[in-house]
Amino acid sequence: DQSYEPLQQDLDRAKALLAEAGYPDGGFTVTMTAVEGLEDQRQAALLYQAALAQIGVTLEVQVLPFSVYFEQGQDPDTAATFNPQHEAPETADPFQWFDKVFGSDGLLNWTYQDVSAMDDLIDRGQSEPDEAARLALLHEAQQLATDNVYAFPIANLVDLDAVCDNTDGFVYQPTDLMYVPQFWPLYQVDK
């Protein structure tokens, strides 16, 4: 739903929420992981660190090998407060992606929040045959994820596909994050 406004930084509101939660001056530490070798994650963590410092919250950045990052993220006792993930849908079904990222049993749901309302929307959306009703359920799921800030999406996808200017037939697949070898019927064109 394109009507949702992007999240905006609001320091006054953040300070008010902290005070309401009993932390008027911040004064606590949260953690964020970054995968070793993924500089964009580390740089994003540094930006978040600077932003949180403005409200008195310390962000400890942990740069970890992927195997350690993944293992820690799957356990609520060892997961960082924030876990960046490079993720996009593998299919054109948005509920498949919502289930993976926001569902209670989702492989990449490392928020450890009660998401039973999201589970209900996912279940209903995956079985709804009517396109309009399915779209309405998707909008409800988007609103729920937005209202509860299950994620704060950022994008930094750099995908270079070099093709000569005299080649046709290549088709970019935006959902192919697994880089499965694909063979295209490429052919040379006269220029």
Q: Cα–Cα distance between 174 and 184 in angstroms, integer?
A: 15
**Residue spans per domain, the chain:** 1-84
Buried b / exposed e across 33-56, counting CB within 10 Å, b at 16+?
bbbeebebbbebbeebbeebeebe
Are 79 and 113 in contact, with CB atoms under 8 Å apart? no
Q: Which CATH superfamily is domain 1-84 in?
A: Dipeptide-binding Protein; Domain 3 (3.10.105.10)
pLDDT at 4: 74
pLDDT at 183: 58
Burial status of residue 9 (CB atoms within 10 A of its CB: 0-12, 13-18, 19 or more): exposed
Q: What percent of the chain has pLDDT over 70?
A: 85
Q: Cα–Cα distance between 89 and 166 in angstroms, integer?
A: 31
pLDDT at 49: 96
Alpha helices in 103-168 (DSSP H): 116-127, 131-147
Instruction: Read off the pLDDT of each residue in 68-83 and give the average, rounded to a whole number.
Output: 90
Q: What is the mean pLDDT of the chain?
A: 85
Non-local (6+) Cβ contacts of 70 within 8 A are none
pLDDT band at 186 (very low <50, low <70, confident <90, very high): low
Global pTM reads 0.72
pLDDT at 67: 93
Q: Please state which of the ranges 30-39, 48-57, 96-105, 180-189 shows the lowest mean pLDDT.
A: 180-189
